[in-house]
Amino acid sequence: MSGLIHSQKPSTSATLLLVANEVGQSKYPELEVEWFDYSIDKDQHGGIHNDTIIIGSDLPQDQYKLAFSSGLARSAKLASLENLLDGHLHKNREIPDLLLKGKKLPLGRHAIMKSLGELFSLRGHVNLHSELLDLPDFCWSSPKMEDAFSAISRNLDVRARIAIFNKKLDYANELAEVLRNHLHEEHSLKLEWAIIVLISVEIGFEVVHYWEKMKQQEEEALEEREMEERRLELVERSRLKKLEKALAAQNESEVEGAEKMT
């Protein structure tokens, strides 16, 4: 994002913005522009008066422009991050109401992890990977340039906006953490039910196996009883045959005895 001070020649500003967009890296989705009126007055000290940038005589013009444009670029970059965060919060604005009503959340694991990644990226851009919190290097070499940079930053409420941004980010992170915990609980519940189903299936197989085993034992016991009954029947038949033979022999002896007596 370019922080060039607005020029009196619109064509020059438009050309510079086009060049900056062509060579820019990690571009933001929307172009953010900070507009300020400025005046070059060699009879005054430089600064900001009534929302107008005064380029005075106590510093070379190029140094003043560098300091002020760096402050404008800082604000524009922060505005882009603010828009990204506001878009993220707007996208997830219905989640607290869904949680309050106990309804099912429309987000899956992939969407929640993507949301966490967006928030970590935003926090990193603000607190780690950008110049939003640190002073530019030129401020260490020129106190007056630092004063000019700080003046434009105060006018644009940069530090207050960063504090508000971090509070919004904390809220978004807490919401994402709640979603992740909820998703983890749902996943654990699904695993528990899967384990219960597997145990139930195993119990079912064991019941079927036990029933088949008992049925087999009953069939074997029935076969043994039938075999025992057949064996007893054969023994009884054999005993009856022997008894019949004994009776027949007894009858024959009685008949022979009777014949001898006659």
pLDDT tens figures, 163-195: 898 899 888 888 888 888 888 888 888 899 999
pLDDT, averaged across the chain: 80
Residue 17 is predicted with a pLDDT of 61
Residue 5 is predicted with a pLDDT of 42
What percentage of residues in the chain have a pLDDT greater than 70? Answer: 85
What does each C-alpha distance from 45 to 48, 136, 210 come to in angstroms? Answer: 10, 22, 99
For 79-115, the pLDDT digits (tens) are 888 888 898 888 888 888 887 887 777 777 788 888 8
Residue 80 is predicted with a pLDDT of 86
